[in-house]
Amino acid sequence: MNAVPTVYLRSVMPNVKKYLDDQIVVSLTKGIEVETGLRASQILEEELDGKYHSIAVLSGPNLAKEVAKEILPRL
């Protein structure tokens, strides 16, 4: 499982992927990467070099004030 904040995901994955074999990678990370607009699952695909095609996302309700006010991040 991956619960690294989106802002650190790219820098952490090179250290993590050397320990992965053929596991299903489950992302618990919410948000998007500001520079690219990519979701965590898309970042994982890139950083895992497409080798680990089994990426799952666990999500739930988001009760953030920004969502309620329909405020979207600037890309």
- pLDDT tens string 32-55: 899 999 999 999 999 988 765 688
Give the burial string for 22-36 (b: 16+ CB within 10 Å, else e). Answer: eeebebebbebbeee
Q: What is the pLDDT of residue 73?
A: 60
Domain boundaries, the chain: 6-68
pTM: 0.73
Query: What is the percent of the chain where pLDDT is above 70?
Result: 76
Query: What is the percent of the chain where pLDDT is above 90?
Result: 31
- pLDDT tens string 8-23: 999 999 998 888 887 8
Q: Give residues with Cβ within 8 angstroms of 10, minimum separation 6.
A: 33, 43, 47
